[in-house]
Structure 1
Amino acid sequence: MDYEIWLDFKNTMLSFFKDIGPLVIYALLTFIIGVFIIKIIRRLLKRILVKSQIELSLRTFIESLSAFILWGLLFVIVGSILGIKATSFLAIFGAAGIAIGLALQGSLSNFAGGVLILVFKPFKVGDLIKVKSNLGYVIKIDILYTRIRTFDGRIITMPNGNLANSDVDNRSMNNLRRVDLDLKFAFEIKTEAIRPIILEAMKKHPLIEKQPEPDVWLEELGESEIRVTARSWVKSEYYWPTYWEQLEAVKTALDEQGIETPIPRRIVYQGGNYTSKT
């Protein structure tokens, strides 16, 4: 009895592998070959995109989207070899699409945001942008996410959906940027006395633009000091080095002239008299 059951099971399995085995092997070979072909197509596509000098942000988006399409097509072909009809694939993809759409609403929003970013181009790879409190250079724009590298070497990944709906401060879009130095002085210091000192120090910098010319203006009267703003213009890519070097140059020039930073003071009244305290 046991022998007959085993023999029947054996014949059933042999029949199954005889009918299905070649299809499985064929599908497996197709999958392996397909993976190899996908790699070749992606390499060729990458070369074509590089030669065509398409913008880097659009290039990375096309590469990511093409990989998604190619892998989807490969799975459809493998499924067809195994006997899954195209209508079944459509039904499966339709049901899966609804389920995935409900489960991944945020991802679909990110995809739409990525398309909007590539179409309207509020920024591109290589731009210096600030989104909320994140400041850094854009290093990659994918289908769903954008990555920036901060000045301290951190990589921040931000969803494209959030980026498309946020205020993006693109600090590389204009060719020139203004360098603002906020300086504080005691009330006794005359603006006309410090203006030529600051201007001379600023104009010595080799990277600042001749037009618009640097300027120095009284910005605000504080509680215990006056606040002066010194402005100059520089190409966007040189902003930060110029800012730091200008600040140091102005500080050195003021020190050489014996002009110090203000010391907070308070006036205390005592029976009609007052004394000044630092």
Structure 2
Amino acid sequence: MDIEKWTKLGVEVATEYGLKILGAIIIWIIGSWVIRKLIGGTRAVMTKRGFDESLQKFLLNLIGWVLKILLILVILSQLGIETTSFAAILAAAGLAVGLALQGSLGNFAGGVLLMIFKPIKIGDLIEAQGEIGVVKEIEIFTTKLIGLSNKEIIIPNGALSNGNIVNYSTEGTRRVDLTIGVGYDSDIKKTKEVLMNVLTSNPKVISDPAPTVNVSELADSSINFAVRPWCKTEDYWAVFFESTENIKEALDAAGIEIPYPHQVEIHKNE
């Protein structure tokens, strides 16, 4: 065995690849440190701007994996391994995943938009996609509502972000719209006074904006009044039901008739 020959070959191999391996190790150490700093800086910016915690975790993990893959490609290139094929494989895999998950990616993008621009937040009463409910949770792909009958409603974020959203909680107050009909024999001024007294005597009805009572229509069999009390958002249904009941009792006490369909029979004597 030619020991000198093998020793010389070993030194050449160690010289050629040892420097590359050492360079790869240095690149990994420096690259990992840079990635940690970038992740930390990104997390600080997201926290300062009030990004949702679940969105932060998802985006930071995504950014971390992308940077680590790029770092691995750089290290492979440093070791003399052709990385073009790896890049092509990753691009093809990304395209295939994107095509297979078009709907999910749309929902993900919608979730990101909801968490960044915050048109809704947890606890808001909203109407969207034909559903009404209180926002329970905003996730990456879906948003969960609690419906008025305590049912859970799950709406894809893609549809939610691209559709109309009515947020009843943003302003903090809501107007209750009631239509009350009385008979044509009723005194309009007295009726308005009775209706207004019902509204102003309810402690849940706020004074600013002030409640209003106005004649809205001269219908076929009734004079219709537009009764419009304002209240806090959380008191909406209480004011709606209490006002409806109290108005009926007050009109009865005042002798004001609420008309209902009548059938008149005419008998002709021969």
TM-score range, shorter chain: 0.5 to 0.7
Question: What is aligned with 1:148?
Answer: 145
Counterpart check, 1:61 vs 2:58: no
* Cα distance change on mapping 1:188 and 1:129 into 2, 3 Å: same
Q: Give the C-alpha shift of residue 90 in structure 1.
A: 4.7
Query: Which residue of 166, 180, 184 maps to 1:183?
Result: 180
- The correspondence of residues 122-201 of structure 1 with structure 2, limited to 5 A, is 122-201=119-198
Number of residue pairs matched?
217
Unaligned runs of 5+ in 1: 1-44, 271-278
* Cα distance change on mapping 1:148 and 1:65 into 2, 3 Å: farther
Question: Could you tell me whether the CA contact under 8 Å between 1:186 and 1:263 is conserved in 2?
Answer: no
Quick one: which amino acid aligns to residue 249 of structure 1? N
CA RMSD of aligned residues (A): 3.3
Query: Which residue of 219, 222, 227 maps to 1:230?
Result: 227
Counterpart check, 1:220 vs 2:217: yes
**Which structure has the larger Rg?**
2
* Cα distance change on mapping 1:138 and 1:255 into 2, 3 Å: same
Deviations, residues 123-164 of structure 1 (Å, cap 9, x unaligned): 111111001320001111111111111011111111111111
Quick one: which amino acid aligns to residue 162 of structure 2? N
* Cα distance change on mapping 1:202 and 1:265 into 2, 3 Å: same
Query: Which residue of 96, 99, 124 maps to 2:96?
Result: 99
- For 2:150 and 2:120, the matched residues in 1 are separated by 20
Q: TM-score, normalised by structure 2?
A: 0.68
* Cα distance change on mapping 1:181 and 1:264 into 2, 3 Å: same
Question: Could you tell me whether the CA contact under 8 Å between 2:183 and 2:256 is conserved in 1?
Answer: no
Q: TM-score, normalised by structure 1?
A: 0.66
* Cα distance change on mapping 1:196 and 1:86 into 2, 3 Å: farther
Quick one: which amino acid aligns to residue 60 of structure 1? S
Question: What is aligned with 2:36?
Answer: none
- The correspondence of residues 12-51 of structure 1 with structure 2, limited to 5 A, is none
Pick the structure with more strand per residue: 1
Unaligned runs of 5+ in 2: 1-42
